[in-house]
Amino acid sequence: MREVDATSDVTLELDDIQAGALYERPSPYVGTYLLLCIRDQAEGRELVRRLHRIANPAGSPDTPDDTSVTVAFTYHGLEALGVPQESLDSFAPEFKEGMAARATALGDVGESAPDQWEKPLGSNEVHVAIAVLSSDQSHLDALAEKARAAQAELPGVELIWRQDCYQLATGRTSFGFKDGIGQPAVEGSGRSPTNPRELPLKAGEIVLGYPDESGELPPMPTPDVLGRNGTYVVFRKLHTKVAAYRSYLRERAATRAEEERLGAKMVGRWQSGAPLALSPDADTPDLGSDPQRNNDFGFADDPRGFKCPVGAHARRANPRDALDHEGSVDVRLHRMLRRGTSYGPMLPDGVLEDDGLDRGIMFVFAGAHLKRQFEFVKTQWLNDGIFIGAPLESDPLVGPHHEETSFTIPQRPIRRRLQGLPPFVVTRGGEYCFAPSLSALRWLAELDT
Ligand code: HEM
């Protein structure tokens, strides 16, 4: 089915694009990520044939908001399936290298370094990544079972890792903040922008085979049937040090209200999701939960960051109109779809002691450009402070902090500077994947090399 978006003249082949790569997950959701290793090529192709039957196209009327199965491959996975070398060579260089090889550039050092990662993340054994998400536990179990069954009768394909995830009814993640609000719209997807000030992105920013913001077709793997309607997907398991984060704030705040304010300044939104840009002085839960209003803002009227600090996580990750001046970077070239989910039990409210349990976010990126989207935002905007004129500052919430890392909160009469931020997020591992189209899944299953 070809669907035309009323807001654009782009026709996305929605029947051929995997729903999970293009559309928002349900909310609330439950989900499971499965990683598989292909030890036998013929059985690997048989697995892909079976997965092709359960992966959902974005064009299907009943799946996107409820249940979806998304299938993606690493470079080594495509290699294990016997994809011809000239085709493997045509993928993006970062994808070919894999996430572990990009660790130093990404700031995955020290306790986030690949030699500390959870096994088998970052190893050449990770071939196929499957994400199953649903609004309903019984649907999830049924589908995850189908995905496991697709593999279970194939001894040449091994299930090597599984991670369950879920969303609280409040939509909040382990640090206490509502997540998944700021997202761009994509031309031709049929979904309207939640930020009316941001035009939908050209389809080629997210899906391969269509013009992107530069007006060009992004580099696409060959042959066409393999690349077209596919997208790159990044997943990262990010452990969050919630007790350390709470203690850090508690030591610097005289009251609970001040603690909340400092946390909101770090994120750029209050815990409810209300943006500081619209509600700078206090949380406004009505605003946070209103999808018509909670993403309708810019930063142009707050250049110095008195409302939302220029170093706040969400402002770094999407400076919106703050960089709209001559010679500045084009923010639209660095947008991404995020499909992150929460894992692990929440630390009960008010607890400041670490209970030793693993909790955090499965961060998921989807986009057509690994380098200028995911890697650019991570390295230039989150890990570095040069673009905001503060070279020693990195993202206060998710940055790879070192001893001197500080965070500046512009305020009158004098700014406040939080010093010695410890790292609050540790990378447990991840991978660069490619989520092919439905027709590419068929092509992979039928390879006869
Ligand atoms: C454990 C790690 C992380 C946590 C806890 C976290 C948390 C958050 C929160 C609370 C928000 C604001 C709510 C929203 O707009 O959805 C947000 C926004 C965002 N984050 Fe993160 N994040 C993490 C890692 C990352 C990483 C690694 C990236 C990119 C490389 C990233 C990119 C973004 C983007 C693009 C936005 C939306 C900004 C906007 O459009 O306003 N985040 N994040």
pLDDT tens digits for 180-215?
A: 999 999 999 988 899 999 999 999 999 999 999 999
Q: Which ligand 1 atom lies nearest to the CA of residue 174?
A: 5
Give residue 447 CA to ligand 1 midpoint distance, Å: 39
pTM of the model: 0.95
Q: Mean of the pLDDT values across residues 328-337?
A: 90
Of residues 326 and 276, more confidence is placed in: 276
CB of 337 within 6 A of ligand 1: the answer is: no
Query: Where are the strands (E) in 194-286, listed by range?
Result: 231-240
- The token duo for 270 is 């209050």
Label residue 324 by pLDDT band (50, 70, 90): confident
CA of 46 to the centre of ligand 1 (A): 37
Nearest-atom index, ligand 1, CA of 361: 1
The mean per-residue pLDDT over the stretch 239-244 comes to 98
Q: Is 238 in the pocket of ligand 1 (CB under 6 A)?
A: yes
Please count the other Cβ atoms lying within 10 Å of the Cβ belonging to residue 152: 11
Average pLDDT over residues 165-181: 90
- CA of residue 115 to ligand 1 center, whole Å: 25
Q: What is the DSSP string of 20-85?
A: HHHSPPPSS-EEEEEEEEE-SHHHHHHHHHHHHHHSPBTT-TTSTTTEEEEEEE-HHHHHHTT--H
Please give the average per-residue pLDDT across 416-436, as a whole number.
96
pLDDT digits (tens, 9 = 90+) for 32-78: 999 999 999 999 999 999 999 988 888 776 554 578 899 999 999 99
Q: Tell me the pLDDT tens digit for each residue of 7-19.
A: 457 889 999 999 8
Q: Is the CB of 30 under 6 A from ligand 1?
A: no
Distance 81 CA to ligand 1 centre (A): 34
Which two three-digit tokens encode residue 435?
Answer: 């989520």
- For residue 335, give the ligand 1 atom closest to its CA: 35
Question: Average pLDDT in the 167-189 region?
Answer: 91
Residue 56 pLDDT: 85
CA 275 – ligand 1 centroid, Å: 13
* Among 279, 192, 266, 275, CA closest to 5: 192
Region of 189 please: left (phi>0), alpha (psi -120 to 50) or beta. alpha
Atom 34, ligand 1: which residue's CA is nearest?
Answer: 317
- What is the pLDDT at residue 5? 44
Q: What is the pLDDT of residue 8?
A: 59
- How far does residue 354's CA lie from ligand 1's centre (Å)? 23
**pLDDT recorded at residue 357:** 97
Give the per-residue pLDDT at 3: 41
At residue 2, the pLDDT reads: 37
pLDDT at 35: 97
What residue's CA is closest to ligand 1, atom 42? 317
Looking at residue 152, its pLDDT comes to 82
* Cα(358)–Cα(240) distance, integer angstroms: 8
With a cut of 60, say whether residue 344 has pLDDT above it: yes
176: alpha, beta or left? (left if phi > 0; alpha if psi -120 to 50): left
363 Cα to the center of ligand 1, angstroms: 9
Q: Distance (Å, rounded) from C-alpha 173 to C-alpha 176?
A: 5
Indicate whether 1 pLDDT > 50.
no
User: Atom 27 in ligand 1: which residue has the minimum CA distance?
Assistant: 378
| Rounded distance between C-alpha atoms, residue 213 and residue 208, angstroms | 12
CA of 415 from ligand 1 middle (Å) equals 24
* Best residue for ligand 1 mutational test, from 25, 194, 334, 338 (most atoms within 8 Å of Cβ): 338
Q: Is the CB of 313 under 6 A from ligand 1?
A: yes
Q: Is the CB of 314 under 6 A from ligand 1?
A: yes
Nearest to 283 by CA among 399, 185, 172, 198: 172
For residue 390, pLDDT over 60 is answered with yes
Q: Whose CA is nearest to atom 4 of ligand 1?
A: 398
Give the distance (Å) from ligand 1 centre to CA of residue 9. 30
Distances (CA, A) of 170 to 32, 137, 373: 20, 17, 29
Say if residue 231's pLDDT is above 90: yes
pLDDT at 310: 97
